[in-house]
Amino acid sequence: MEKISVAVRFRPPNLVAANTSPASSGGGGDREWRIDDTRVSLLHRAAGPITGASFAFDHVFDGAANNERIYGTVVRELIGAVVGGFNGTAFAYGQTSSGKTFTMNGSDADPGIIPRAVRDVFDTVRQADDREFLIRVSYMEIYNEEINDLLTLEGQKLKIHESLDRGVYVSGLREEIVNSAEQVFELLQLGEANRHFGETNMNMRSSRSHTIFRMVIESSGKDQTDGGDAIRVSVLNLVDLAGSERIIKTGAEGVRLNEGKYINKSLMILGNVINKLSENGKQRGHIPYRDSKLTRILQPALGGNAKTSIICTAAPEEIHIEETRGTLQFASRAKCVSNCAQVNEILTDAALLKRQKLEIEELRKKLQGSHSEGLEQVVLKLRNDMHKSELERDRLAMELEDERKLRMTLEQHLTEQQKLEAISSDHFTDSIQLDLLKTPDSKSVPDGFVACRSRYSQDVEFSPIPENLDNIAEEDLWTRLNKGCVTDLDMLEMTPNLKRESSFLQEKSSAAPLEEPTNAICQRLAKECIYDQQQLEESKARCANLEKDCDVLRDENLSLQQELSESKLEADSLVAEKQAQLDDLRMRCVALERDLSSSRQEAHRLATEKQELAGQLGTERQKMDELKQDIRVICGDLLQREGQLTSIYTKSKAIIESCKASQAV
């Protein structure tokens, strides 16, 4: 167990901003911060130190400190541990316009923690001759509680998942395999172009989102065999948090106001997590990591398996004293948090370095044979392609899981609908009612209109007008109407293969029978039997498939019921835990009320003593004035006596000289 390393950095005073700020009108300028190497204290220029406003940290930097000094003191040792296999996290916390982004990114003249850490990682990797390294990077932001990939514009609003192999991770996040610091800087430049910034009254370029730059470092020994090769996989998180802000100072409106609400909410949850972690183990209770995506992603760095360094930035001006005090209180609580960091070694095929080892060795042999840079680029491209394919496979697997859940939901709705239809059909047992509810046949029963079928036809010029028409047309009338041409009704069928057995029987019963050969009838009936058998087999196959699906759904339903019971038990335990926390809070509130009443009594007593001391002070001042008057009188007497003594001395000297002169004569 080791404590989180906490450092505080005060930026140089911004006198112009303090004079032009609308909040500076109420500042009297009678308080200031005294900065030592490890302690920060709030002083009143007239009365001295203020009680309860003194804080101690691992390191404290004033406005004269540069990024190089801060990196060398706070982060350099952390980078060496990350290359050695430990997880590491460094982030800047503080109010807006206090210098967090400058501390993490820096400038061209004074690079910040992120560019210095990237160069330090690659320098340390080059010095390690006994190990082989694979480094991949990603860059994301949390904007309005939505996770965006800064290296691409396609995969936005990403989700957080957790697994035994990878722990807490963001699915669909683009990761690039790199082999030089320059490649990382190009990716950082791309990410900064996609990041959300905005202008407020306190900052011309204010960060409107939390950014997390992540480096995954995998390494293995060069002399180890494949059978017992242990891969070290460590993660370095460099976080630039958005600053907490007050609306009255920033003047945020519209979109900026909405962004500020999300920023303050996530920072408040981060403070709650730090408060819980700083408490004792018995009083800690539930830690709300899942209340914010920021704390969920940083869960391993807060009380988990990681080495963590926090740089809290503060503003020294009088108008920002309350915000600075809140930042220092957060830093004091964070200093009490302990992590349990250990080297991460993986013996399975979960490490990307182990899965690509054979291919890398083959390409490296080719690269050693020729000194061209093209083969090195081919190696890097193949690594990236393989890693992207694995990420795409994971994404497709998650999409397949979502589709499966959607299919289950649709099947449940379909099952419920079938049950409702079955229940409704049970109410109509009468066959007459069921016939009335059925869809009527589109083909009506003919009125005995009969036409002879024939396999030949002749062209006709016109049809003679019949003398009289009845409901039943006989063959002679039909022949006269068509001048001996019998229409081939098989050619007039608009819907082929339409089964009309019932209507055909009705036609036979109401009209004259058709002359059809027996062989044709047998063939037709045989075809109908074969068709019916095929339909029956298909129905049986569908029934079998439906039964299998039902069995699968039953199994899944049982598993869901088990998960539901487990969720209920977990919910009950959470409710009990929350109730215990509520009782604890109530007890603490009662204790605080008691302390408050005792504090009020003590304050009343101190006020009374203050009045008494004020009266005694007035008496002493009167005595002092009287003593001063006496001293003035005594001083006047002393001066008068000194004058008399001087005159006496002068006279005595003159007498002595006259006496000496007389004796000489």
pLDDT at residue number 252: 61
Cite the annotated binding site for ATP by residue number. 94-101
* Residues 63 and 13: beta-carbon distance below 8 Å: yes
Residue 68's pLDDT band, with cuts at 50, 70 and 90, is: very high
Average pLDDT over residues 165-194: 87
Least confident of 170-174, 196-200, 261-265: 196-200
How far apart (Å, rounded) are the C-alpha atoms in residues 621 and 629?
A: 12
Half-sphere exposure of 118 (CA within 13 A, CB side): 24
Domain ranges of the chain: 2-16+29-347, 520-652
pLDDT tens per residue, range 304-358: 888 999 999 998 888 888 889 889 999 999 888 888 888 887 765 555 555 555 5
Instruction: Name the average pLDDT for the chain.
Output: 76
Q: 39-43, 279-283, 424-428: which has the highest mean pLDDT?
A: 39-43
Cite the annotated binding site by residue number. 94-101
Average pLDDT over residues 474-501: 52
Cβ within 8 Å of residue 416, ≥6 positions away:
none
25 vs 120, residue with greater confidence: 120
Average pLDDT over residues 374-396: 67
pLDDT at residue number 472: 53
pLDDT tens per residue, range 403-416: 777 777 777 777 77
pLDDT tens per residue, range 124-153: 999 888 888 889 999 999 988 889 888 887
Average pLDDT over residues 424-428: 50
One-letter identity of residue 605 = R
pLDDT at residue number 26: 37
Q: Is 296 helix (H, G, I), strand (E, B) or coil?
A: helix
Is beta strand 2-3 parallel, antiparallel or unpaired with respect to 5-10?
unpaired
Least confident of 237-246, 385-394, 533-542: 385-394
Q: 47-61, 503-517, 538-552, 570-584: which has the highest mean pLDDT?
A: 47-61
Tokens of 353: 């370095």
386 pLDDT above the threshold of 50? yes
Q: Which fold is adopted by the domain 2-16+29-347?
A: Kinesin (3.40.850)
649 vs 452, residue with greater confidence: 649
Residue 171's pLDDT band, with cuts at 50, 70 and 90, is: confident
pLDDT at residue number 353: 52
* Run of H or E including 233: strand 231-240
pLDDT at residue number 383: 67
> Running DSSP on this structure, what letter comes out for residue 202?
S
494 pLDDT above the threshold of 70? no
* Residues 121 and 134: beta-carbon distance below 8 Å: no
pLDDT at residue number 503: 42
Q: What percent of the chain has pLDDT over 90?
A: 15
Least confident of 109-118, 554-563, 620-629, 630-639: 554-563
Residue 530's pLDDT band, with cuts at 50, 70 and 90, is: confident
10 vs 249, residue with greater confidence: 10
Q: Is 109 helix (H, G, I), strand (E, B) or coil?
A: coil
Tokens of 358: 């054979």
Is beta strand 156-158 parallel, antiparallel or unpaired with respect to 160-163?
unpaired
Q: Sign (positive/negative) of CA torsion 122, 128, 133, 138?
A: negative
How far apart (Å, rounded) are the C-alpha atoms in residues 183 and 115?
A: 12
Q: Is 32 helix (H, G, I), strand (E, B) or coil?
A: strand
